[in-house]
Amino acid sequence: MLGALPGGLPTLSAPSLEIDALRELVPLAFLVALVVMMQTATVSRSFASEDNPPNVNRDYLGLAAANLGAALLFSFPVNASPPRTAVVREAGGRSQLAALVAAAIVGLLTLTGGGLLTHVPYAALAGILLYVALRIVRTHEIAAVARQAPGEAALIALTALAVIALPIPTGVAAGIG
């Protein structure tokens, strides 16, 4: 079970800049930054439409500002969440207003609804994430790559296998490589 989540507002404070802590955090921060950048580019392109063409540079600027705020609030890194984007799209959202309403709902639940997840099994969360992943993977594009460049298709398969089979930091690093 997921268990209850802590609620309430974060407090604003300056992060600690201890050298030993920075030595441990910088490689991890670099890896997280690369993952965030790749996810953002993927979401921007995967969920683009005629009304909202992809603009990855604009999205990177927005993420930079959001992550500065997240660092000051000791929050998780901000990214272009594929699951959240897919849920908004599946619910019929087509504008920034839909994303803002979704963010407001998440914020409200964070403040007041931490106990709602107490009895949700990890398997339910995994099922939601798998559903979203299957909606994002473009099998027809992978098949086209396999026909045109079999070597690149092998790289796609090896990357997917590394991310699935290896520990997360190792698999992501292998995928990035």
| Mean pLDDT in residue range 118-132 | 84
Query: Could you tell me the two tokens for 8?
Result: 């309430």
Please state, in angstroms and rounded to a whole number, the distance separating the CA atoms of residues 107 and 8.
10
Do the Cβ atoms of 104 and 58 come closer than 8 Å? no
| Structure tokens belonging to residue 171 | 């698999």
3-state helix, strand, coil in the chain (%, to 5): 70, 0, 30
Rounded Cα distance between 82 and 87, Å, is: 9
How do residues 76-119 score in pLDDT, each as one tens digit? 788 877 777 777 777 788 777 887 888 888 888 878 887 887 88
| Cβ atoms within 10 Å of 24's Cβ, excluding its own | 10
CB contact at 8 A, 160 and 167: no
Question: What is residue 148's predicted lDDT score, i.e. its pLDDT?
Answer: 92
Q: What is the mean pLDDT of residues 15-20?
A: 77
Averaged pLDDT for residues 26-34: 82
- Could you tell me the pLDDT band of residue 15, with boundaries at 50, 70 and 90? low
CA distance 12 to 117: 26
Q: What is the pLDDT of residues 139-152, one digit of tens each?
A: 888 888 889 999 88
Q: Which of 63-67, 85-89, 92-96, 171-175 is the most confident on average?
A: 63-67
**pTM given for the model:** 0.56
Question: Contacts by 130-139 with C-beta closer than 8 Å and gap 24+?
Answer: 132/82, 132/83, 132/86, 132/87, 133/82, 135/86, 135/90, 136/42, 136/46, 136/82, 136/86, 138/46
